[in-house]
Structure 1
Amino acid sequence: MKNKTIYVLLASVTLTFSAVPTMAHTSQSGLQGTAASAPKWESLWTNANRAALKQALADRARHGLDHHAFLPPEVDELPADAATRAYTKAAQDYANALANGMVDPSSLHEVYTIARPTADRTEMLGEALRQNRLAEWLDGLAPADPEYKALSQAYVTANRNGDAEEPVITLAESIHVDDVNPRVPEIVNQLVGDGYLAARPSTEPVDLYSPDIANAVKALQRDYGIREDGIIGPNTLGVLTLGPGDRARTLAVALERRRWLSRTPPATRIDVNTAAAELRYYHDGQLVDRRKVIVGEPDRETPPLGSPIYRLVANPTWTVPKSIPVSRATIRAKNMRRINGYWVQPSGPDNALGLVKFDMKNNQAIYLHDTAAPELFDRSQRHLSHGCVRVSDALGFAAMLADQEGVGDAWAKAHASGNYETIDLPHEIPVRLLYHNAFLGDDGKVAFRTDPYGWNDAIAVELGFNKKMSHQAKAEAIDIGP
């Protein structure tokens, strides 16, 4: 799936003021956001409310929004009507940024179907101003969950350290085995966070680039298409995202993506983080299962979808999409047959879908499934599929879902038959295919991943950061599976 190009129109201050969104409905205060009603808005923008908005905007770094100026400079020196429009627009824009995000994800992705917040905040703004509760109202619009708060605090810290002088590693200063370098602790922390290194031996000097660390770096290089030499050079450093400024940028994007999400996700759901290639299953509001997944490779990205599982398919066949080329050798090896113009692989343990498929309701042919190549779950970089999501121990996961949905016996019988059979779930299980490369880890600390799809840059630019192309993973050719 290709990202759409975003065009940003920079308007003058005058044009910005004239483009204040109108209120779609009349609030209890009887105000409307039209030009003719500007005096009514002006009566609400008391000195106290103006001060409250300025104070709220001064604190916008908590949300990663400090690179965007909502109020024009010297706003209070503008003519009264223009100042009213400026305050109104700034309040509306900031409220929308907190409640929905600054960027519309549908402008970034050809398909985006994850549930988003909905509310008419123009009416709410008028009421908050009338009651002199602007600060409280704005403070309640952003997500209030522990993960958002942790990301917020991490952003404030990284942002504060972003201007600190950092060692610059050039090609001539690359780090080799047995070198001593002050960036080694940062490199180790990132390798541990990304799953390439279990832990740093406590007996080694913290600045020593040891053979164990180099071996972990070789695994990263192999996964990301960099020469596998264990040397930390510019390309290898680029995928580690180590600098405070880089982390602040990543965290600001992470906060933005969470503002896109509904504040009340389904209590029972499956969240797939495609950036980290991990799945989390929540049942009745509790996290009950977590496992590795394999997701789409760059240029065949797993799209951001909200789509429920409605049935389990035992011993599925696989109809190869026209977009996936199939060689004659593969046709013979996989025992494929031509049916209605498509190559079809029969059921069995060698099937590309494995022994279970989790059918989902969407028009993108995206679903969760098993795999005939479970060894790929041992890789740290698991962006290897053609877009669908392969689930580690999918049979165990299917049995868990079936038992909790009261169809465990029916599922076990269907699976044991060895034949293609479907088991409808009494209740659909919502699935969200998310893309979060900064998130709260199991240890309660913020974890980072690289940006394998290169989706962060467009968001960061809209948030006011400089353009900086992300390093994308270059998956090796693995198989023809979905």
Structure 2
Amino acid sequence: MTVLSPGRANDGENQTNVIRQSLQEQLAIGESLSIQPQPDWSLLRQVYANYDYRPLWHTPFGQLAEAGTALKQYIQDVAGAGLEPALYQADNFSHLLDNQPQQLAREDLLLTDGFLRLARHLAEGQLDPAAVDPLWKIPMERIDSARLLDQAVIGLNPVSVLESLNPRNHGYQALLRALSDYRRIASEGGWSPLPEAPLLRPGEQHGLVPLLRQRLRTTGHFDAPSPATDVLTYDPDLQQAVERFQQAHGLKQDGIIGPQTRAALNVSVEQRIAQIESNLERWRWLPQQLGDRYILVNIGGYLVQLVEHDKVRLESRSIIGRPMRYTPSFSARATHLVLNPTWTVPRRIAVEDLLPAQRRDSEYLLRKNIQIQQREGDQWVSQDPAMIDWGAFNRNNFPFRLQQSPGDGNSLGRIKFHMPNPYAIYLHDTPAKGLFSHPVRDFSSGCVRVEGIQDLARQLLVSEPETISLFSDRLASRQSSYFKLPQPIDVYLVYFTAWIDPDTGVQFRPDIYDLDRPLMLSLRQLSPSQDKQFAHRETEPVSIAN
């Protein structure tokens, strides 16, 4: 074993050469070394060859340089960015306790591997979305981690380079703070699950009430003083706390502790942490720059937001695709509004929904103002529905095109956002406005119905008063027309099940498309230590007498 000679200035190059030799030796046999997680040896060989096998983070005298010290500390603190330090070799740093050249070379390699992996994970996410989410269609923006390493080494600023990759979006940063809060709750013991009990309504007395009060206090939904007397009474303060909790979990805000509310209360803190971590990963899959102005469709939250300079300027409730006709996560650019649109019925809806309805009721299509057309030569020719034997046709034999004329009953309502995409999914109005009052709104066949879509449209025209006047006139004409937006706007449809509402705090929603579980499992499998609990805790509910 070669030992570094005593530190003298003229010995610095000799000591560097000793570390260089050890770097070459370890790189040559890297795959056989017992290091977990396994470094990317192929990339490390390329990187160090480019630097003639010189240490990147150590001085010529074998001391950890200032940039190396800063990088090491950043990796050890990366839990604050929602990532696990062990993934970036943090646990292996503690095993390097002496100044032997082999140890110094190993530390240099681990720091470089940690930087390269962390850069990718911050900019691209820890996982390839194509491998864990079949509904994710937003293109990935790839980075050149080796080029970023060059910037960090030459500029002696690895932390600044990594910080520049961390998503700066307010929604991501706010969710990070929520993750910190829930980790603190977990470190303090979390909360106890509520036992099975009959429906509990405001004003009633039950032994469950003190436990319910404590459960809601733990997550900040209940902040009133506990009553000195009548501790078993479900009082107005507790009712307000329950309704806040219900709002934050997409439940009917009636203050009643029924099966759905109890189930949400009993999701463990570990599961909520995993849910937050999964949604942070989705943020990392998004492009670094979403633009100064864009529309965000929160699929899992049934919301549409107009975002300007990272602030929500307008928020509307929405209706999204049901699980069998899902709304995928994708991005598109809206260029036009279609006013008083005609609806050309997608073939799937025509054969699965409208054909059976027409068989049951021979006037169904007529009442819906839907015209039937059949191709004759190179033209579509209108057909009389009364002259068609609908029983003779099925999903494999349906030669018709169905089109619904503009009007109050048109399924697209009065406005459709024209945003070309391969999925034939659009933002549009709807005549069925009563559906927006439901807490769970997965009623569509994939498109996104937007409550108050005229307000959203006018916000996009607000800088040009004359344009708004023309828009209003054309909308009132009841004639179908295209209306060009003054500026095209990017639209991002993203499946979130946890996010932050600036007024009400952290929001959780059920995983209606069953996309959280595989994402949670894959994130868990990345961890060198897989002892986290991501499922509901198996703790027995405490027994409460009525």
3-state SS in 2 of match to 1:430: strand
Name which of 256, 268, 274 aligns with 1:249.
274
Q: Does 1:371 align with 2:430?
A: yes
Name which of 494, 505, 511 aligns with 1:445.
505
Indicate the residue corresponding to 1:121 in structure 2.
Answer: 145
User: Match for 2:161: what amino acid?
Assistant: W
3-state SS in 1 of match to 2:184: helix
Aligned runs of 1:176-191 on 2, under 5 Å? Answer: 176-177=200-201, 178=204, 179=206, 180-185=208-213
Q: Does 1:92 align with 2:116?
A: yes
User: Match for 2:516: what amino acid?
Assistant: N
Name which of 474, 488, 491 aligns with 1:431.
491
Residues 241, 247 of structure 1: 8 Å contact kept:
no
1:238 to 1:13, Cα distance in 2 relative to 1, 3 A: farther
3-state SS in 2 of match to 1:33: helix
Residues 332, 419 of structure 2: 8 Å contact kept:
yes
Indicate the residue corresponding to 2:47 in structure 1.
Answer: 33
Residues 428, 453 of structure 2: 8 Å contact kept:
yes
Number of residue pairs matched by the alignment: 439
Q: Does 1:382 align with 2:410?
A: no
Residues 88, 118 of structure 2: 8 Å contact kept:
yes
User: Match for 1:408: what amino acid?
Assistant: I
Residues 314, 414 of structure 1: 8 Å contact kept:
yes
1:165 to 1:62, Cα distance in 2 relative to 1, 3 A: closer
What's the CA shift string for 1:246-302, capped at 9, x where partnerless? 332222223222222333322122111112111111346654322111112223222
3-state SS in 2 of match to 1:160: helix
Name which of 446, 456, 471 aligns with 1:397.
456
Shift of 1:378: 1.4
Shift of 1:105: 2.3
Aligned runs of 1:74-473 on 2, under 5 Å? Answer: 74=92, 85-110=109-134, 112-114=136-138, 117-163=141-187, 164=189, 166-171=191-196, 173=197, 176-177=200-201, 178=204, 179=206, 180-185=208-213, 208-209=233-234, 231-233=257-259, 236-240=261-265, 243-283=268-308, 287-324=312-349, 325-326=353-354, 327-328=357-358, 329=361, 330-340=364-374, 341-404=400-463, 407-443=467-503, 445-464=505-524, 466=533, 468=535
User: Match for 2:128: what amino acid?
Assistant: D
Indicate the residue corresponding to 1:472 in structure 2.
Answer: none
Residues 75, 114 of structure 2: 8 Å contact kept:
no
- In structure 1, stretches of 5+ residues that fail to align are 1-10, 24-30, 194-198, 470-482
1:128 to 1:444, Cα distance in 2 relative to 1, 3 A: farther
- Take 1:55 and 1:153, find their aligned partners in 2: how far apart are those partners? 20
Instruction: Report the TM-score when normalising by structure 2.
Output: 0.68
User: Match for 1:279: what amino acid?
Assistant: V
3-state SS in 2 of match to 1:162: helix
Indicate the residue corresponding to 2:384 in structure 1.
Answer: none
Q: Which moved more, 1:37-46 or 1:289-298?
A: 37-46
Shift of 1:21: 5.2
- Take 1:206 and 1:296, find their aligned partners in 2: how far apart are those partners? 44
Name which of 61, 65, 80 aligns with 1:62.
80
- Take 1:313 and 1:375, find their aligned partners in 2: how far apart are those partners? 23
- Take 2:199 and 2:54, find their aligned partners in 1: how far apart are those partners? 61
3-state SS in 2 of match to 1:245: helix
Q: Which moved more, 1:100-109 or 1:43-52?
A: 43-52
- In structure 2, stretches of 5+ residues that fail to align are 1-31, 59-63, 97-101, 375-399, 525-531, 537-546
Indicate the residue corresponding to 1:4 in structure 2.
Answer: none
- Take 2:327 and 2:220, find their aligned partners in 1: how far apart are those partners? 25
Residues 193, 265 of structure 2: 8 Å contact kept:
no
User: Match for 1:452: what amino acid?
Assistant: I
Q: Which moved more, 1:367-376 or 1:149-158?
A: 149-158
1:67 to 1:463, Cα distance in 2 relative to 1, 3 A: farther
Shift of 1:158: 1.2
- Take 1:398 and 1:305, find their aligned partners in 2: how far apart are those partners? 21
1:82 to 1:370, Cα distance in 2 relative to 1, 3 A: same
- Take 1:236 and 1:459, find their aligned partners in 2: how far apart are those partners? 25
- Take 1:404 and 1:205, find their aligned partners in 2: how far apart are those partners? 58
Shift of 1:42: 5.2
**Larger radius of gyration between Structure 1 and Structure 2:** 2
1:268 to 1:137, Cα distance in 2 relative to 1, 3 A: closer
Shift of 1:20: 3.4
Shift of 1:373: 0.7
1:290 to 1:236, Cα distance in 2 relative to 1, 3 A: closer
User: Match for 2:47: what amino acid?
Assistant: G
- Take 1:343 and 1:74, find their aligned partners in 2: how far apart are those partners? 65
- Take 2:162 and 2:241, find their aligned partners in 1: how far apart are those partners? 48
